[in-house]
Amino acid sequence: MRVRTRFVISFAYVLLVIIVALTVPLGIVLRDRARSELEALALTNAQTIAALLDRDRLGEGRPRDRLARDIDRFAAEAGGRIVVLDPAGTVVADSEGEDIGQSFDTPGRPEVGQALESVVSAGVRTSRDEGGDIVVAAAPVIDEEVLVGAVRISRDVAEVQRNVTRATLGIVVVAFAGLTAGLVLAFVLAGSLARPLSRLAAAAQRLGRGDLAIRAGQVEGGVEVEQLAGSFDEMADRLERTMRAQREFVANASHQLRTPLTGMKLRLGSAIAEANDPAVESQLRAMENEVDRLAGIVERLLVMAREIEEGQESHVDVADAAARAAERWRERASLAGATVSAAGERIVALANPGDLDQILDVVVDNAISYAPGPIEVRTELAGSWAVVSLQDHGDGIPADEVSRVTERFYRGRGVPSGGSGLGLAIAKELVEKWGGTIAFSSVDGAGTRIDVRLRAIDPLAGR
The string of pLDDT tens digits covering residues 234-253 is: 887 887 777 777 666 666 66
CA 254 to chain centre: 47
Average pLDDT, the chain: 77
- Amino acid 188: pLDDT: 62
- Amino acid 61: pLDDT: 53
CA 250 to chain centre: 42
- Amino acid 129: pLDDT: 67
- Amino acid 412: pLDDT: 59
- Amino acid 321: pLDDT: 92
Backbone angles phi, psi at 46, to 5 degrees: -65, -45
The CATH number assigned to the domain with range 313-463 reads 3.30.565.10
CA angle 95, 100, 105 (to 5 degrees): 100
- Compare 190 and 436 and report the one with higher pLDDT: 436
Assess contact for 411 and 419: CB atoms under 8 A.
Answer: yes
Q: Helix and strand tally (H, E) in the chain?
A: 10, 12
- Confidence band of 324 (pLDDT split at 50, 70, 90): very high
- Amino acid 459: pLDDT: 47
- Confidence band of 266 (pLDDT split at 50, 70, 90): confident
Gap between the Cα atoms of 112 and 85, Å rounded: 9
Assess contact for 312 and 348: CB atoms under 8 A.
Answer: no
**Which ranges in 53-102 belong to alpha helices (H)?**
55-58, 64-78
- Compare 406 and 365 and report the one with higher pLDDT: 365
Assess contact for 388 and 343: CB atoms under 8 A.
Answer: no
Percent of the chain with pLDDT over 70: 69
- Confidence band of 304 (pLDDT split at 50, 70, 90): low
Taking phi over 0 as left and psi of -120 to 50 as alpha, with beta for the rest, 232 belongs to alpha
Residue 306 confidence (pLDDT) above 80: no
- Confidence band of 419 (pLDDT split at 50, 70, 90): low
- Amino acid 75: pLDDT: 80
Mean pLDDT of all residues in 15-19: 67
CA 203 to chain centre: 24
Gap between the Cα atoms of 423 and 415, Å rounded: 14
Tell me the per-residue pLDDT of 130-182, one tens digit each, with 9 for 90 and over.
667 788 888 898 888 888 888 888 887 776 667 667 766 766 676 667 667 76
Assess contact for 440 and 402: CB atoms under 8 A.
Answer: yes
Residue 35 confidence (pLDDT) above 90: no
- Amino acid 461: pLDDT: 39
- Amino acid 157: pLDDT: 73
Gap between the Cα atoms of 206 and 226, Å rounded: 19
Annotated domain spans of the chain: 2-162, 210-311, 313-463
Assess contact for 115 and 140: CB atoms under 8 A.
Answer: yes
2-162 topology per CATH: Beta-Lactamase (3.30.450)
CA-to-CA separations, 280 to 34, 193, 216, 274, 285, in angstroms, rounded: 113, 75, 63, 10, 9
Mean pLDDT of all residues in 341-355: 89
Same fold, 210-311 and 313-463: no
Mean pLDDT of all residues in 63-78: 77
Assess contact for 402 and 379: CB atoms under 8 A.
Answer: no
Query: Which one is the CATH code of 210-311: 3.30.200.20, 3.40.50.300, 1.10.287.130, 1.10.357.10?
Result: 1.10.287.130
Mean pLDDT of all residues in 81-106: 85
Beta strands 339-344; 374-382: pairing state: parallel
- Compare 400 and 453 and report the one with higher pLDDT: 453
- Confidence band of 15 (pLDDT split at 50, 70, 90): low
